[in-house]
Amino acid sequence: MRGSAALVAILAALVVASGSRAQESASTPASTPVVTTDPTSCTVTPRPLSFLATIVEAPPPETTPAPLESIPDGPPVDDATRAEVTATVTMLIACVNAGDVLRAFALYEDAYLARLVDPEQAMTAEIANEIVVSFATATAVPAEDQTTLVGLPVVRSMADGRVAVVTETNGGVEDDDDETEFGLLVLARAADGRWLIVDGRTGLGRDELPVT
């Protein structure tokens, strides 16, 4: 994979958190209050500069998860779990607003990052290092282009212990109107107790959300 194409893939990974535009309708219920994700709240420990080289040099997994076709079924999570995954999603968007890719990617599982940035398993460690250097310096997004978290309309437990989260956001560097957008993230608890993003899907439409 060429370095420029890989960089596009890396940046696209962050867009998952912001979702894909969904048309508003007059019958849409009011959203939860907007939560501003200030770039200064991006405080997660950043990945080292060598992280991408390490990921692309790791042995490929025996199986690749099937793409997410819809919001997984499952019961709502308990209040404590909801608070924890909300903190992870909020941190991610704060890091996107801060333009701090090394910190943002600290919230992603290695295997998921590998699928996003090197789907053909063709990237070399040298190219990986060059790409990381190109975005290692954080550059905050202008205030008028920052993303805000409107709410998490769906937070469900999955049968395998993971959590499916639908994000509703507004704003962002590519947003040119006031419509909210939806994204789908799947999070899993890591060995150290943190919740990490292990899968996601763009292009989530409002009509795909469960009827409440």
- The 10s digit of each residue's pLDDT in 124-134 is 999 999 999 98
pTM of the model: 0.86
Which pLDDT value is given to residue 64?
A: 83
With the C-alpha atoms ordered 138, 35, 158, 195, is the resulting torsion angle positive or negative?
A: positive
- Residues of the chain with pLDDT > 90, as a percent, come to 58
Look at residue 43 and tell me whether its pLDDT is greater than 70. yes
Phi, psi of 131 (to 5 degrees): -65, -45
Q: Give the tens place of pLDDT for each residue, 105-115.
A: 999 999 999 99
Which pLDDT value is given to residue 67?
A: 87
Phi, psi of 89 (to 5 degrees): -65, -45
Kindly indicate the confidence band of residue 25, based on its pLDDT and cuts at 50, 70 and 90: very low
CA 45 to chain centre: 17
Which pLDDT value is given to residue 183?
A: 92
Look at residue 31 and tell me whether its pLDDT is greater than 60. no
Q: Under a CB-based contact definition with an 8 Å cutoff, are residues 181 and 168 in contact?
A: yes
The tokens describing 94, both together, are 């704060």
Q: Angle at which helices 110-117 and 3-18 pack, to 10 degrees?
A: 120
Q: What is the largest CA-CA distance in the chain?
A: 52
Q: Give the tens place of pLDDT for each residue, 141-162.
A: 898 888 889 999 999 999 999 9
Look at residue 62 and tell me whether its pLDDT is greater than 90. no
159 Cβ neighbours under 8 A, 6+ residues apart: 74
Q: Under a CB-based contact definition with an 8 Å cutoff, are residues 116 and 12 in contact?
A: yes
With the C-alpha atoms ordered 96, 82, 182, 74, is the resulting torsion angle positive or negative?
A: positive
Which pLDDT value is given to residue 19?
A: 56
Residue 117: which H helix or E strand, with range?
helix 110-117
Q: In the 8-state DSSP scheme, what is residue 49?
A: T
Least confident of 45-49, 137-141, 154-158, 183-187: 137-141
Domain boundaries in the chain? 3-59+74-208
Cα separations in angstroms, 108 against 105, 144, 190, 199? 5, 26, 10, 9
Q: Under a CB-based contact definition with an 8 Å cutoff, are residues 62 and 118 in contact?
A: no
Mean pLDDT, range 182-209, rounded to an integer: 93
Q: Give the tens place of pLDDT for each residue, 72-83.
A: 999 999 999 999
Q: In the 8-state DSSP scheme, what is residue 76?
A: B
